[in-house]
Amino acid sequence: MRIITEFEGSSLLFERPHRIITCDSPQQLPLCLASAEQALQKGYFLAGFLSYEAGYALEPCLTSLCHGDFPLLSLGVFSAPSWLPAVSKSALFDVTGLRPDISKEQYFRDIGLIRGHILDGDVYQVTFCLKYLFDVRGSHYALYRSLLRRQPVPYAAYLETAFGTVLSLSPELFVCKKGSHLRTRPMKGSWPREGLISALLGGIRLHFDAKNRAENLMITDLLRNDLGRIGRGVNVPRLFEVSGYRTIFQMTSTVDAQVPQNIPLSELLRALFPSGSVTGAPKVEAMKIIRRIEPGPRKVYTGAIGWISPQRDMMFNVPIRTLLVKDGHGEMGVGGGIVWDSTPEGEWAESQWKSRFLREVST
């Protein structure tokens, strides 16, 4: 296992783990989290990923929906990280055959099913995802560096694991904990950045767009409630912030709280994981609908990637804009929040421009 995190301007390299904690079933998860706690108590760092499906294992009423052949959790136990070494410029890569895993017609039908659940009052919002499949040859790390140069993001990560290579070009923070201060920054709301007018005005249009504000506010309220389960002094210091990237504008809000400095990892995850930005609201009902409608497991996509120090400081991203590659084949999830005002045509178009950063390097 080899892990690189490039979070908020700090690049860390984790390699040569003493051991790797891997969870393959819901029944193993408590024991794996206990092993992680023991490693922290002995002064080790942890780094790795949680799959989205771990969220089903953490919620007792959803455990029966947790199935698949990809690990729920894989955390390396490391002595300490080092700085990222110099980047090689000579390696080559080739990405071909980029295509969605479901037809446009099926996608439209799925959006209709979700809007039916909203009409029935089951949920207010569901984050629905499809996957783009592709083939890749050459250096995975060169592909990662190329994508990151084209669209710099604040929470990028690169993982080499026994289960595949993960290339995460994520702009979204899941959780940052320093001492007893815990911060989440859910991302909900997007706008394309194509052409001069969009580049100049797209961020302003997103900031004041009623639909995107409503989506963002629902998820911000969900995160406030989640943080209230484990912390105090919950507050929202920033609401409806817009960040511009090369191909897209994104809206985030920030939610802070004070939590016990040594809060058990299992307690924190049960309250917060997965992020409400990738499920919808209410979270449990949205996750049930996602499991019924999406054709397969999300795996590391929309889970969490990051590290934990022996002092219980931590930083994890939400792995959106994230590629999983193994044996020459790759997949990348793309999602959006579906509300009553959503249209199949609009959501399909959104999936197209959210995947643009990968399409630009594919042939």
Residues assigned a catalytic role: 172, 188
Q: Are 322 and 300 in contact (CB under 8 A)?
A: yes
Put residue 122 in one of left, alpha, beta given phi > 0 → left and psi -120 to 50 → alpha. Answer: alpha
Contacts 24+ apart (CB under 8 A), 163-167: 163/70, 163/71, 163/74, 163/326, 164/324, 164/325, 164/326, 165/140, 165/324, 165/325, 165/326, 166/49, 166/300, 166/305, 166/319, 166/322, 166/323, 166/324, 166/325, 167/140, 167/143, 167/322, 167/323, 167/325
Radius of gyration of the chain (CA): 19
Helical segments of the chain, H only: 29-41, 54-58, 104-119, 140-150, 195-208, 210-228, 265-272, 283-293, 344-354, 356-359
Q: How many CB atoms lie within 10 A of CB 103?
A: 9
Q: How many of the other CB atoms lie within 10 Å of CB of 17? A: 20
Helix axes 344-354, 104-119, angle to 10 degrees: 120
Is there a contact between 308 and 265 (Cβ–Cβ < 8 Å)? yes
Handedness of CA 286, 290, 291, 293 (dihedral sign): positive
How many Cβ atoms from other residues are within 10 Å of residue 102's Cβ?
A: 14
Q: Cα–Cα–Cα angle for 183, 184, 190, nearest 5°?
A: 145
What gap in Å lies between CA 300 and CA 51, rounded to an integer? 4
